[in-house]
Structure 1
Amino acid sequence: MLNLLRRAANGLLTEPVVATWRPPEDAIWIDLVSPTREEELAVEAAFEIDLPTREEMAHLEPSSRLYQEDGATFLTATLLSHSEDQHPVPTPVTFVLARGVLITIRYEQLKAFRIFAERCKHVQIDEGAEVLLELLDAVIERAAEVLERESNLVQETSVAIFNRPPSTAFAPMLSDLARAQSVTSMIRKSQLSLSRLASFAALAAELQDREGRRGHLVSIQHDIQALTEHSGFLSNHISFLLDAALGLINIEQNSIIKFFSVVAVVFLPPTLVASIYGMNFDHMPELHWLLGYPFAMLLMVLTAITPFWWFKKKGWL
């Protein structure tokens, strides 16, 4: 699908692509979403550039994601997709600045792009370089929202772990922490790729010719750095909570084992007494004693109470 933003248009428009397709003169953003081969060829012919395919975007080495070719600047970053689902996934997105137009290539529906598309209806943008800067702002804002949501979830889980009723299971908490750790790691990876993208984007002629655009790009770099640091802090916090949860699980398991060990030790002496007097040998003096039965019962009670009293005195219970 090919979406097009024109300089004076009220938002993105979807255009059909034919063999003789050419972009309008006032086009400033071409958004290729899961493009067909015909759409790729049409854009390549219109701008005389070679767009990376999906396979090339996915397998590009980090050093090959940022380059300039045929007068165009190619920037590829890894963004987070389906962040609200149970299993978010990273997806590569390529930004191309060519002849004053921004071309984006992506294969997932990204909320940051939808937010920016709505924003375009109320903001006047004149060139592709400005679209790139504003779109990067939207991507960073979306990443900040996801990171804030995961931070709140981690805080709630932290309270639940350390104020957990005895009957509450740890499994849901560990599941939430594992997902938060995964999302945080993917956001951190995304911000690192965006950091490299922003540094290389400064070489683009479209961003060098105006002081305001250079300042905007510096502001974006600062925002990326702040998010990267925040994601690192959150990742460390999650690791601490995972260790704490596992430690509490071990403590509970040790308490259970301790209880069964004490029970076994307490009942071991009475069991010994009962075994002795249950042998039924003919020459046992207490066998025909009138008080033999009460004596054996009292002896078993005393041998059970004595270890229990000893454990309490030592503070083991």
Structure 2
Amino acid sequence: MAIIDNAVYVDGRRVATPASLDVTFDLLREHSGMAWIGMYRPSEEEIRAVAREFDLHELAVEDAMSGHQRSKLEQYGDTLFAVLRPARYIDADERVEFGELHVFAGPNFVVTIRHAERPSLTPVRERLEEDPEMLSLGPDAVLYATLDEVVDEYEPVVAGLENDIDEIETELFAAADDDALSRRIYQLSREVIQFQRATAPLTGMLEGLLRHIRDVKGEVELQRHLRDVHDHAIRLSERVNSFRSILDNALTVHSTLVTQRMTEQSITQNDQVKKISSWAAIFFAPQLVAGIYGMNFDEMPELHWAFGYPFAVLLMVVFAALLWGIFRLKKWL
């Protein structure tokens, strides 16, 4: 069943819980109160029925039926249409899961349409029903309470992102898998960007709602509550923006550290190649002398000289020592 909860209120108190939309419409006209219809993934026909009864604008109805809308607040005549993107953080996958909530707030009705399991608006309805004075302010009070719930549910998401960012900052200077860390930073950056897209419009939406209530309704107490949610949304937006900056810096630092480590490895390899080349040259000099005097020729200088052998050995030692000194001077050894 698409209708989760359906009630008619008079002076902030529930007077009826109709079993169908037709009964709701009849009771609303009879009591001259406010109808609050909560729907979960309704069919097109159910949305059309509500739209016909409350004369909802066709463009807003199309948005509600198609879903996948950005966060926004629009006004069609005396009806406000809000799209909210509630979210929750899946810590195991380091992923932000988004829902979608549409709210129609008219002169005497509120229609909430959820396209995801969260957030449940039952706690919102229960809190408002416990405060008839607030609920008596009408659909604007319901819209405020819904916004407040969505913004409050962003707090665990922010905490989860912040915790993962702290872990990344710790891993940056640790001996870790560079590819895995790069992939983690990139994926978390993508989640932060998506979360930023969902939360960034909130401040503008709340400012527009505040102006509407101040200029049209003049409800001072509701303005105070909305300003509190607005302040919360501003702080939330600032923290999310800082997350994006931190992750961008982390990716830059990580790239720098990877480059530095590769440079250090290259330098180490160069030093090792120098040492190997130096010792190869040192051993090559005696082999050259030995190879020349080991050739089977009768006519060779110093071949029949009595000091020929000591001279050859001395020549090999001198060449080796000379090369060792040169390489030592150049710090190759």
TM range (shorter): 0.7 to 0.9
1:88 to 92, 96, 117: 96
Counterparts in 2 of 1:150 and 1:259: CA distance versus 1, 3 Å: same
What is the DSSP-based 3-state SS (H/G/I as helix, E as strand, rest coil) of the residue aligned with 1:76? Answer: strand
Report matched runs for 1:102-121 at 5 Å.
Answer: 102-110=110-118, 113-114=119-120, 116-121=121-126
C-alpha contact 1:188 1:232 (8 A) present in aligned 2? yes
Counterpart of 1:246 in structure 2 is 255
Distance 1:37 1:193 in 2: 27
C-alpha contact 1:266 1:308 (8 A) present in aligned 2? no
Q: Following TM superposition, by how much is the alpha carbon of 1:37 offset from its aligned partner in structure 2, in angstroms?
A: 0.8
What is the DSSP-based 3-state SS (H/G/I as helix, E as strand, rest coil) of the residue aligned with 1:121? Answer: helix
Counterpart of 1:52 in structure 2 is 62
Equivalent pairs: percent with the same residue? 12
Q: Structure 2: which 5+ residue stretches go unaligned? A: none
1:72 lines up with 2:86 in the alignment: no
1:43 lines up with 2:38 in the alignment: no
Distance 2:322 2:6 in 1: 90
Q: Give me the CA root mean square deviation.
A: 3.9
Distance 1:3 1:298 in 2: 98
Which letter maps to 1:69?
A: Y
1:2 lines up with 2:3 in the alignment: yes
TM (norm. structure 1) is 0.75
Which letter maps to 1:101?
A: F
Distance 1:100 1:285 in 2: 120
Distance 2:64 2:319 in 1: 82
Residue by residue over 1:64-94, the C-alpha shift from the partner in whole angstroms, topping out at 9 and shown as x without a partner, is: x5432253112234x2545315543555543
C-alpha contact 2:63 2:69 (8 A) present in aligned 1? no
Residue by residue over 1:265-303, the C-alpha shift from the partner in whole angstroms, topping out at 9 and shown as x without a partner, is: 111133234455269443798999579789869966985
Residue by residue over 1:168-199, the C-alpha shift from the partner in whole angstroms, topping out at 9 and shown as x without a partner, is: 32334333333332232223222221122212
Counterpart of 1:131 in structure 2 is 142
| CA radius of gyration, larger in | 2
Counterpart of 1:192 in structure 2 is 200
Q: Following TM superposition, by how much is the alpha carbon of 1:148 offset from its aligned partner in structure 2, in angstroms?
A: 2.0
What is the DSSP-based 3-state SS (H/G/I as helix, E as strand, rest coil) of the residue aligned with 2:56? Answer: coil
Equivalenced residue count is 298
Counterparts in 2 of 1:250 and 1:221: CA distance versus 1, 3 Å: same
Counterparts in 2 of 1:120 and 1:106: CA distance versus 1, 3 Å: closer
Counterpart of 1:215 in structure 2 is 224
Counterpart of 2:191 in structure 1 is 183
